[in-house]
Amino acid sequence: MEITGRITKDATIYKVNKDKEVVNFSIAINDTYKPKNSDKAKEIVTYIDCSYWLNAKIAEWLKKGALVQVTGRIGLNVYSSSDGKALGSLTFHTNNIKILAFAKKAEQTPTEIIPQSTEGVKQETADDLPF
């Protein structure tokens, strides 16, 4: 099975046992459809949790906003909650990741420089502004 979507948050690496690592990430798939007897299109978003066991180094490239195409299989996790309810979740076990578009780098905002002392520093009022 093959799916394409955008990564919703930076990938995380978890250690399993002593020597095994898994990369976990989630992707969002946007889809639109037009309901019967309606003029407006509806947009739905499906979130899919993914795991990748082959190479943990890829996690540094799997950043929020990156567009990826993943190939793999769906796995079902069944468990009981603390109150005894049977619950389940789906995980996409990825065996191939293709990065179609890298995430944009975060805008670097300049750090604000605050003077240590205000002595000798002229404080401008709104009337003194040059514009």
Q: How far is CA 75 from CA 30, 78, 106, in A?
A: 22, 10, 33
Hey, where are the domains in the chain? 2-104
Q: How many Cβ atoms from other residues are within 10 Å of residue 18's Cβ?
A: 5
Q: What is the largest CA-CA distance in the chain?
A: 72
pLDDT at 130: 52
d(CA 4, CA 67): 7
Q: What are the φ/ψ torsions at residue 127 (nearest 5 degrees)?
A: -75, -20
pLDDT at 35: 87
* Residuewise pLDDT in 10s, the chain (131 residues): 999 999 999 999 999 988 899 999 999 999 998 888 888 989 999 999 999 999 999 999 999 999 999 999 999 988 899 999 998 888 999 999 999 999 887 544 444 444 444 444 444 444 554 54
Question: Hey, what amino acid is at 116?
Answer: Q
Instruction: Give the global pTM.
Output: 0.69
pLDDT at 106: 59
In CATH terms, is domain 2-104 a member of 2.40.50.180?
A: no
Please give the structure tokens belonging to residue 17: 């046992």
